[in-house]
Amino acid sequence: MKTLATTLVLSSLFFGIPAMAATGHDHGHGHSHTQEPVNQQIAEKKADEVIASLVEREKVDKSWSSIKASSIEKKTLNSRPEWLVIFNNDKITDVDKQTLYVFLTIGGEYIAVNYTGK
């Protein structure tokens, strides 16, 4: 019986905490949960930062650091608007890896990067 009571008390602690994170709350960290859209220029700057980080961590060839975006598009994926910033690098010998696609939220936050655009 004592084990059952302890289990119930612990369970109520775990399941009671998520209820405190309801909508319309303010927890004092100075931002809302909705993102303000950034413009195309800022999206390009954010994508450049993603590429620089990949070069720094040696995830892509260092020649990517001098490549500028060839295209910046607003796309709607999964019913959410996103930025798709495309970089082309002719210095890469593997044709399948000459194009890098950087996906950002409409607010400019990094989502993903890949060679397929999907």
Q: Per-residue confidence of the chain (118 residues) as pLDDT tens digits? A: 555 454 444 444 444 444 444 444 444 444 445 678 899 999 999 999 999 999 999 999 999 999 999 999 999 988 899 999 999 999 999 999 999 999 999 999 999 999 998 8
The string of DSSP codes covering 38-87 is P-HHHHHHHHHHHHHHHHHTTSS-GGGGGPPEEEEEEEEETTEEEEEEEE
* Threshold 0.75, pTM exceeds: no
> Per-domain residue ranges for the chain?
40-114
